[in-house]
Amino acid sequence: MAKKRSTRAGRATGTKTAARAQKRAPRQQPQAATASAEELKELKKRVRTIIRRLKKAYPDARPELRFSNPLELLVATVLSAQCTDERVNRVTESLFKKYRSAEDYAKADRKQLEEEIKPTGFYRRKAELIQQMARALVEQFGGEVPRTIEEMTRLPGVGRKTANVVLGAAMGVASGIVVDTHVHRVARRLGLTRQKDPDKIEQDLMQLVPRSEWIHFGMSLVLHGRYVCTARKPKCDQCILSDVCPKVGVK
């Protein structure tokens, strides 16, 4: 009997401790996927304010990668992995003069292509992906970059982020919202999502942001995260969203 009473007492103590800890824990901002109707209404109202301010601050938001057509942006986006846009732009200045079509990349000498893109890092893997992607474009799409996200994500090495960048910035197709590391960070700090997976973050944002704003919203959040809401030292005192931002996770 003593053991049973001791067990019950332990459970009761544990329950009370958990309840106190839960009470002390800060309330998390609701995410779009699980928010109540009232919470969702308030989130959307705040998002409208965020959109207005981002459009004023970044009226011409677009990738900082230089390109003149969808294929160039697709290649540049592949090269930008683990590399700065500035360095990619230096490499593509000569690269795009030499390779003008998907067929050019598909038929390129692998070693030479690797050498040409070497400054971007991980050049062997990137060269492999670019040639696989180029062959798929030639064989499946007549050498043209497709205009749907379903077709784009069938290309080797192309996920939703890359597809959304190319479709949105180069074609004006609102297929989704770009979620890179900057958007991932800023969206969570703004309390628009609690998700960590990029695809789930995108789904939350797509519920909150009107489709007509998908392209600009993603592109402007990238710039805002790159220059204002930075990873280590966010410039909250200079931020146009400071008064509507719960600063989730910011010390």
Contact between residue 222 and residue 185 where contact means Cβ atoms under 8 Å apart: no
Q: Which of 171, 160, 164, 96 is nearest to 130 (CA)?
A: 96
Domains, the chain, ordered by start: 37-60+178-244 (1.10.1670.10), 70-171 (1.10.340.30)
3-class secondary-structure state, position 36: coil
- Compute the average pLDDT of residues 45-68: 97
Concerning whether 55 is annotated as a catalytic residue, the answer is no
Catalytic residue list contains 180: yes
Q: What is the pLDDT of residues 113-169, one digit of tens each?
A: 999 999 999 999 999 999 999 999 999 999 999 999 999 999 999 999 999 999 999
Give the pLDDT score at 35: 67
Alpha-carbon gap, residue 195 to 168, rounded angstroms: 23
Q: How confident is the model at residue 32 (pLDDT cuts 50, 70, 90)?
A: low
* Residue-wise burial string across 114-145, b where 16 or more C-beta atoms lie within 10 A, e elsewhere: bebbeebeebeebbebbbebbbbbbeebeeeb
Q: What is the pTM of this model?
A: 0.84
Mean pLDDT of 194-199: 95
- Catalytic residue selected from 161, 204, 233, 247: 161
Q: Tens of pLDDT along 181-191?
A: 999 999 999 99
Q: Which of 3, 4, 107, 180 is catalytic?
A: 180
Helix pair angle (160-171, 70-79), 10° resolution: 140
Residue 34's pLDDT band (cuts 50, 70, 90): low
Pairwise pLDDT comparison (223 vs 2), residue with the higher score: 223
What share of the chain in percent tops pLDDT 90? 82
pLDDT number for residue 33: 54
Alpha helices in 35-117 (DSSP H): 37-57, 70-79, 85-98, 102-107, 110-117
